[in-house]
A = this chain, B = another copy of it.
Amino acid sequence: MVAALVGDPARANMLTALMNGRALTASELAQEAGITPQTASSHLSKLEAGGLVELEKQGRHRYYRLTDDDVAGVLEGLAGLAARTGHMRVRTGPKDPALRRARICYDHLAGDLGVQMLDTMRDRNLVRQKKQEIELTAEGERFLAKHLQISPEMLAHPRRPVCKACLDWSERRHHLAGTLGAAMMQRFNELKWAARDATPGSRVVNFTRTGEKQFATLFGNGKD
């Protein structure tokens, strides 16, 4: 039974870690779940047998990812049901402080800095947010063009929205997703303000000294 697989806390933590769509190695997943590699190995083979995850061998690493969107969808549904009853997950977020501060979520900035960025943009009327819906204002467009050289036509996409609120894993508050969130992250990269950590599979985003400074100028909240 599939549900029994998801039912175990250790396996549920692994699956949650895979929910961002990226593939993780067995050891990374073991650490996510807070168990030893040999226990994780047992769990992962069960998840694979159950068709929930796929395995890709690469050298001496073994990368696991969710099989497809159907699996992710069902997991989201389960999370939704769990959320209604307040029976939320015990394990709240990443322990790693660097991961907590700034990381990649799909293709945009998440973590403390990601939440801070959206907060500031909202405060300064660069975007308007109603629940999970976010709209870019005219003021916001001017701001993006001036400071980050991002134009509206760069953000157009047939199916993906420009702005989207994405619930932050560690902060439990929204950060900015959508084509704008992706474009901004890409721009940070190009400007050498920030870069994904070199260690393969890591989702940590490291800011350079000047990048940190510039980011604070644009989106700082005075707390750092």
Contacts and interface: CB of A to CB of B under 8 A. Distances in A.
A50 interface: yes
Copies, count: 2
A168 to B, nearest CB: 11
A95 interface: no
Interface residues of A, number: 37
Given A1-B89, A9-B1, A51 B81 contact: yes
Nearest to A8: B4
Interface in A8-25: 8-9, 12
Interface string A63-81: 0000011110110011011
B158 A87 contact: no
Contact of A74 (B9, B51, B81): B81
A167 B68 CA distance: 12
Most buried by B among A7, A71, A89: A7
Contacts of A164: 159
Interface in A77-120: 77-78, 80-82, 84-85, 87, 89
A contact patch SS: helix
A133 interface: yes
A132 B1 CA distance: 23
Max chain B Cβ within 10 angstroms of own Cβ: one of A50, A71, A131, A158: A158
Contact of A81 (B8, B9, B70, B89): B70
A6 interface: yes
A67 to B, nearest CB: 9
A3 interface: yes
Contacts of A7: 1, 3-7
A2 interface: yes
Interface of A: 1-9, 12, 49-52, 68-71, 73-74, 77-78, 80-82, 84-85, 87, 89, 131-133, 158-159, 161, 164, 167
User: Which 8 residue pairs across A and B have the least CB separation, nearest first?
Assistant: A4-B7, A7-B7, A3-B6, A51-B85, A74-B77, A3-B7, A69-B132, A2-B82
26 contacts: A1-B7, A1-B9, A1-B12, A1-B89, A2-B78, A2-B81, A2-B85, A2-B87, A3-B3, A3-B4, A3-B6, A3-B12, A4-B4, A4-B8, A5-B7, A49-B85, A51-B81, A70-B77, A70-B80, A70-B81, A70-B167, A73-B132, A74-B74, A74-B77, A158-B161, A159-B164
